[in-house]
Amino acid sequence: RAAAAARRALGGERYDVELAEGAVLTPRDVAAELESAVGQPVPQAPTRR
């Protein structure tokens, strides 16, 4: 799921280039890209205790 979200957020071509260069995209990276794309913070999921 994270890979699909990253591909949508970064655009397919940029995502492929970053992977080819050895980039490791974390969920936090994906959230940051989504925030910048829509101009709003990504809602945080509640944590389990």
- Token match 């655009």: residue? 11
Tell me what percent of the residues of the chain surpass a pLDDT of 70.
41
CA 9 vs. chain centroid, Å, equals 6
pLDDT tens sequence across 17-28: 777 776 666 777
- Given a cut of 70, whether residue 1 has pLDDT beyond it is no
When pLDDT is averaged across residues 1-29 and rounded to a whole number, the result is 70
Q: Is 13 helix (H, G, I), strand (E, B) or coil?
A: helix
User: Which amino acid makes up residue 42?
Assistant: V
Domain chopping of the chain, boundaries:
2-38
